[in-house]
Amino acid sequence: MNTTTSVPSKGLKATALGYPRIGPNRELKRALEAHWSGRLDAAGLQEAAASVRSGMLDDLALLDTVPTGTFSLYDHVLDTVVAVDALAPRHRRETELASYFAAARGDDAAVPLEMTKWFDTNYHYLVPEIGPETAFAAKPAKTVTEFVEAKERGLDARPVLLGPVSFLLLAKPSEDAPADFSPFDRLDDLVPVYVELLAALRHHGAGRIQLDEPALCADRTEAELAAVAAVYRRLGAEILVAGGYGPFGESLPVLLEAGVEGIALDLVRGRSDLEALEALDVSRETFFLAGVVDGRNIWRADLEKGAADLARLQRISDRVGVSSSSSLLHVPVDLDAEQELPEALFERLSFARQKLREIKAIADPEGSREARPEAPADWRDASVRERLAALDADADRRVPYPERQAAQAERVPLPPLPTTTIGSFPQTAELRNARAAHRRGLMIDADYKARMKAEVAAVIAEQEKLGLDVLVHGEPERNDMVQYFAEQLTGFATTAAGWVQSYGSRCVRPPILYADVTRQAPMTVEWTSYAQSLTEKPVKGMLTGPVTILAWSFVRDDQPLADTADQVALALRDEVADLEAAGTAIIQVDEPALRELLPVRAASRAAYRDWATRSFRIATSGVRPETSIHTHLCYSEFGEVIDAIAALDADVTSIEASRSKMEVLADLDRANYRSAVGPGVWDIHSPRVPAAEDMAEALRLAVDALGPERVWANPDCGLKTRRYEEVRPSLEGLVAAARAVREQLAKSA
Ligand code: MET
Ligand SMILES: [Zn+2]
């Protein structure tokens, strides 16, 4: 192992709040998957993990102070569950590693922890289950090991842990907890365990310790804030509280009063904290990290602006350092892997390694103070801007739903409870191989297309045989529901190796939306039309909505998201028009990420709901009343976006509902949603084949809530991750369930 010593800089201390932990070439992913499939034993996995950590330190050694403990075998919230010994009994196995993966992924004996999105990012964390009986105990092994590893290399190391307040606020009550119990009730029991964890670290020589409290960047109640003050008074000196993902706002004075030594500010999304601090009476001894380099996006920092914000902070305090705005977990490791990108774009990008240098430069009084250069003129497309400006005031409006419904029923007569699927059919190994061969140039376009068309034909035949009412082409030609469109629209680039962890071993490669967006040619019409030519049944067109395209890309930050969304919407509007012109009667525009981009702070939510729903409606409102617009949402609790779902004004909304026991239907009703709903009656994220009777029961609940004319029968998401062995019997059951409920309805009529 090579030893690195950090060079103390003349200026301010440079650091980062956290670092990508999957390895520059996804080494950890490969090791994990080898371990899970039995090809790599526990020792081999630990060795691979140590090597990834060592690589992280190689990079971080550039900084004056290095965060440690931000490595994770799967998820940092699960690591915290382990650190406070709060694993549920059902996940305890013979070894710690086996317990860890039982909680992360489940096994024959137990379902895993639930997974949900980390603030407004596309990273998913595992939700701790905490009950009144959960016994906490300090298990400092991981945090101590990783701290010592860095220290032994001569680095000035700063241990990082998820703080107790956020840990409990991110948790959910365990199954057996009483109805009025909240995990946060356990704060007083948890804090002593943190005291022990901190003591163990101090015992090994730790000075300042970073406690991540991103939950303090969301709206908090008075009672929660009072508890925060008490906790941080108790945890004592040499604590740096980090947020990230927005301003601390009203948490700022609370933390300051509690006497925390330092606060790491997100000066990208939480710049208003600067003003807040200027208005407060802050001790000049308070330590601040100026998070001026964006941990969430991949654009080069504006060093001039960063330095200016830093100077403002220095007028408040004598003890200021420079950092990233959040952990760098959300960006890929190294831009140098992207030699194929257009030069003007490459020059404007910065991945994790490059960001470390930016942080260094801002911390160095003699470092670069370059402003960010203007984007090249040809990244702007006057035509799309003019078209958007010229859109009619009612370009995002259709005639009222009852009128549409009548016209659509006449155009495409359907039985009650029409059966359909969400779009994708299984992506078999054979399909993936064909795609890989095509990408590598080993399969010519014509052969590839023929192969995909054969798949479409097979998928149509399957559905006819199953007796589904509204068919799909199965999406075999799509590598990914966002990338597929990004590759065809101008203004997007895709990276060669820009991998970002989504959860566990799963990584995504978000496209980069860098310039004005236009559609060059129809993107999906050929596939849908081909599928339609094979059947008398209606085939749904299938598009990804503007919000989801933005959510799963790295998006330009030189104009409001709303403006970028409108450009994408306009391109989709043209696609929708072309599908309609080709005779497609039903067009589905998926918005699974509608909840994801919802701002963390309530005050910013109304504006988000406005632009998000408007962009969807711009994409979908150009059609005639008799053309039916469907949308699809999944992956979330919909409570906060129910109004937005209603405002999409789709004719049919298919929505994940089985886990919430159809409760979302009553919520939709309260939000004045009046069109049809396809509540997912088959949880496709589970390999289990659902019983037809359970699906029928779910459909009956839906009929009770909405009336028979407003219910569709469908799974809760696409089938691309499932195998045909599960899909066939499940869809047979779905069709049977719909028929059974129809018969009952006919009898009782
Ligand atoms: C994550 S939502 C997926 C929707 C898409 N149409 C599919 O079926 O795969
Ligand atoms: Zn879905």
pLDDT tens across 406-435, in order?
999 999 999 999 999 999 999 999 999 999
Confidence band for 4, pLDDT divided at 50, 70 and 90: very low
Domain positions in the chain are 27-365
Ligand 1 mean position to 474 CA, how many Å? 10
Mutation choice for ligand 1 from 632, 652, 684, 714, CB with most ligand atoms inside 8 A: 632
**pLDDT surpassing 70 at residue 37:** yes
Q: Extract the annotated binding site for L-methionine.
A: 422-424, 475, 590
Residues with Cβ within 8 Å of 84's Cβ and at least 6 positions away in sequence, in order, are 136, 137, 138, 139, 167, 190, 193, 194, 197
Q: What is the mean pLDDT of the chain?
A: 95
- Which residue has the least CA distance to atom 6 on ligand 1? 423
If you average pLDDT over residues 697-705, what whole number do you get? Answer: 95
Of 3.40.50.300, 3.20.20.70, 3.20.20.210, 3.40.50.2300, the CATH number of 27-365 is 3.20.20.210
| Residues annotated as catalytic (active site), given as ranges | 685
Say which range, 115-124, 220-229, 307-316, has the weakest mean pLDDT: 115-124
560 phi/psi in degrees, rounded to 5: -60, 145
Rounded CA separation 88/92 (Å): 7
What digits encode the pLDDT tens for the residues 528-553? 999 999 999 999 999 999 999 999 99
In the chain, the percentage of residues whose pLDDT exceeds 70 is 98
Binding residues: 29, 122, 422-424, 475, 506-507, 552, 590, 632, 634, 656, 717
The per-residue pLDDT for 351 is 98
Evaluate if residue 599 carries a pLDDT over 70.
Answer: yes
What SS3 state is found at 621? Answer: coil
Q: Mind listing the pLDDT tens digit for each residue in 124-147?
A: 999 999 999 999 999 999 999 999
User: Which ligand has the nearest atom to the CA of 590?
Assistant: 1
**Residue whose token pair is 């137990």:** 110
For ligand 1, atom 3, the nearest C-alpha belongs to: 718
Closest residue by Cα to atom 8, ligand 1, is 718
Q: In 10 A of CB 379, how many CB atoms?
A: 18
Q: With bands split at pLDDT 50, 70 and 90, how would you rate the model's confidence at 10?
A: low
Q: Give CA–CA dist 680/687, Å, rounded.
A: 15
Give me the mean pLDDT over the 305-323 stretch: 97
- 737 in Cβ contact with 692 (< 8 Å): yes
Q: Amino acid identity, residue 507?
A: C
pLDDT value of residue 687: 77
What atom in ligand 1 is closest to the CA of residue 588? 6
Q: How far is the CA of 456 from the centre of ligand 2 (A)?
A: 20
Q: Residues lining ligand 1, judged by CB closer than 6 Å?
A: 422-424, 475, 481, 542, 590, 592, 632, 634, 717-718, 720
Q: Which of 666, 695, 668, 701 is nearest to 683 (CA)?
A: 695
Residue 8 predicted with pLDDT over 70? no
Burial class (CB in 10 A: 0-12, 13-18, 19+), 387: middle
Q: How far is the CA of 29 from the centre of ligand 2 (A)?
A: 24
Amino acid letter for position 732 = E
Residue entry with tokens 């309530």: 602
Amino acid at site 723: R
Rounded to the nearest angstrom, the distance between the alpha carbon of 421 and the centre of ligand 1 is: 9
Query: Is the pLDDT confidence value at 2 over 90?
Result: no
Which bound ligand lies closest to the C-alpha atom of 630? 1
User: What is the per-residue pLDDT for 7?
Assistant: 44
Q: Which residue's CA lies nearest to atom 9 of ligand 1?
A: 718
In ligand 1, the atom with minimum distance to the C-alpha of 635 is 1
pLDDT, tens digit (0-9, with 9 covering 90-100), for 551-581: 999 999 999 999 999 999 999 999 999 999 9
Closest ligand to C-alpha of residue 587 is 1
ipTM for this prediction: 0.99
Q: How far away, in angstroms, is 592 Cα from ligand 2 center?
A: 6
Task: Please state the residue numbers annotated as binding site for 5-methyltetrahydropteroyltri-L-glutamate.
Answer: 29, 122, 506-507, 552
Ligand 1 atom nearest 423 alpha carbon: 8
